[in-house]
Amino acid sequence: METQLSNGPTCNNTANFESSNTEDSKTNLIVNYLPQNMTQEELKSLFGSIGEIESCKLVRDKITGQSLGYGFVNYIDPKDAEKAINTLNGLRLQTKTIKVSYARPSSASIRDANLYVSGLPKTMTQKELEQLFSQYGRIITSRILVDQVTGVSRGVGFIRFDKRIEAEEAIKGLNGQKPPGATEPITVKFANNPSQKVNHTILSQLYQSPNRRYPGPLAQQAQRFSRFSPMTIDGMTSLAGINFPGHAGTGWCIFVYNLAPDADESILWQMFGPFGAVTNVKVIRDFNTNKCKGFGFVTMTNYDEAAMAIASLNGYRLGDRVLQVSFKTSKTHKA
């Protein structure tokens, strides 16, 4: 499982973005510290809850196709970009606390700053990896490759610095050195070195499977909640014509009842984000007043995480209201 530094030298990191227009800088956002398994559609759904998006891009490794943990969102209205920063910066998503800020123009000095590190101790965590390299500059993203079956580190990792010169200094300082706990010297070099021959398929398989973010005990505990089904709500307006995904192929849909009239999508993101991958949130509003009608839906990718969210949030007091949270079934759509 990835470990996120809660405090330290990487807290103020930003990545780079190609922009030459002053107006663009007011609508273009950089989003750092995204969960590795978060998809571009999930990123778009999260920021689309704030306002209309012109474009959205999740940055991926060119070799493996895996997320590098950051992306860009470009709003149409600068006010929505500002609102997104105020609303979503610091949002907890799974084991990550995301950072949202304005993207800055790119230059040659901040390109190609990704390092490949091998020979790491199998016991080294991502936090320890960042601590080892943070003395050389600002770290944007980091990750350690793990065996897909055992979850054990493969002794290989990646570090992306804010600037290339920082990456160069890290190579000078750490390549061939023995970090704490290591019996052999580590190798540190640029990840995009043309001489580095990598089997794309094998490398992609080294990443931890998104469906194995939690160990067995959590999966067993989640079985306790497999019988949950939405309760009947008297007087609920029919949801005919609203298409919400079920669990077949699209994730697990959760029904949230007793929300306040001023509730919005950002509240649901903040509540459910820490439990796992959220693909979509929806607050049902009154057509005339645009106020929340008291309920909404959250779709999560993984059953275990959805069950844990239900177990934790059902009966949760939000303001002066006690929430009722359960898996959605076809009964939920009936008045």
pTM: 0.43
Residue 278, beta-bridge partner list: 300
pLDDT for the residue numbered 205 = 35
| SS3 assignment, position 78 | helix
Going by their DSSP bridges, the two strands 153-161 and 278-285 should be labelled as unpaired
DSSP 231: P
Are 28 and 65 contacting, i.e. CB atoms less than 8 angstroms apart? no
> What does the pLDDT read at residue 20?
37
Shared domain check, 199 and 228: no
Residue 29 lies in a domain: yes
Q: What is the pLDDT of residue 247?
A: 52
Buried b (16+ CB within 10 A) or exposed e, 265-280: bbbbbbbbbbbbbbbb
- At 241 the pLDDT is 33
The pLDDT tens digits along the chain (335 residues) read 333 333 333 333 334 443 334 455 788 998 988 888 888 999 999 999 899 999 999 988 776 777 888 899 999 999 999 999 998 998 888 888 898 988 865 555 556 788 889 899 989 988 899 999 999 998 877 778 777 667 788 888 888 887 889 999 999 999 999 988 888 999 999 875 433 333 333 334 333 333 333 333 333 333 333 333 333 223 233 333 333 434 545 688 999 999 999 988 888 888 888 777 888 888 999 888 989 999 999 988 888 788 888 888 888 888 888 889 998 876 544 43
Q: What whole-number distance in Å separates Cα of residue 88 and Cα of residue 330?
A: 32
State the CATH number of the domain containing residue 41: 3.30.70.330
Query: What pLDDT shows up at residue 297?
Result: 92
Q: Let me know if residue 10 belongs to a domain.
A: no
Give yes or no: residues 103 and 77 share one domain: yes
| Residue 9 within a domain | no
CA distance 54 to 84: 14
Question: Could you give the CA distance from residue 230 to residue 155 in angstroms, rounded to a whole number?
Answer: 45
Domain count, the chain: 3
Give the other-Cβ count within 10 Å of 20's Cβ. 8
CA distance 276 to 38: 9
How far is it, in rounded angstroms, from Cα 135 to Cα 6? 17
| One domain for residues 180 and 274 | no
Query: How much is the pLDDT for 104?
Result: 66
Q: Residues 237, 285: one domain?
A: yes
How far is it, in rounded angstroms, from Cα 150 to Cα 132?
A: 25
Q: Can you give the length of the chain in residues?
A: 335
| Other residues' Cβ atoms within 10 Å of the Cβ of residue 183 | 7
In which domain, by residue range, is 42 found? 16-107
pLDDT (0 to 100) of residue 135: 94
pLDDT of residue 23: 53
Return the sign of the alpha-carbon dihedral for residues 190, 192, 196, 202. Answer: positive
- Residue that finishes a domain, picked among 159, 193, 211: 211
Four-residue CA torsion sign, 304, 60, 132, 105: negative
Q: What is the pLDDT of residue 225?
A: 32
Residues 115 and 190 in one domain: yes
Note whether 223 and 84 are within 8 A (CB). no
pLDDT at 260: 92
Are 86 and 121 in the same domain?
no
Specify whether 241 is located in the same domain as 329: yes
Q: Check whether residue 192 and residue 223 sit in a common domain.
A: no
* Count of CA atoms in the C-beta half-sphere (13 A) of 170: 33
User: Which residue bears the tokens 């943990």?
Assistant: 69
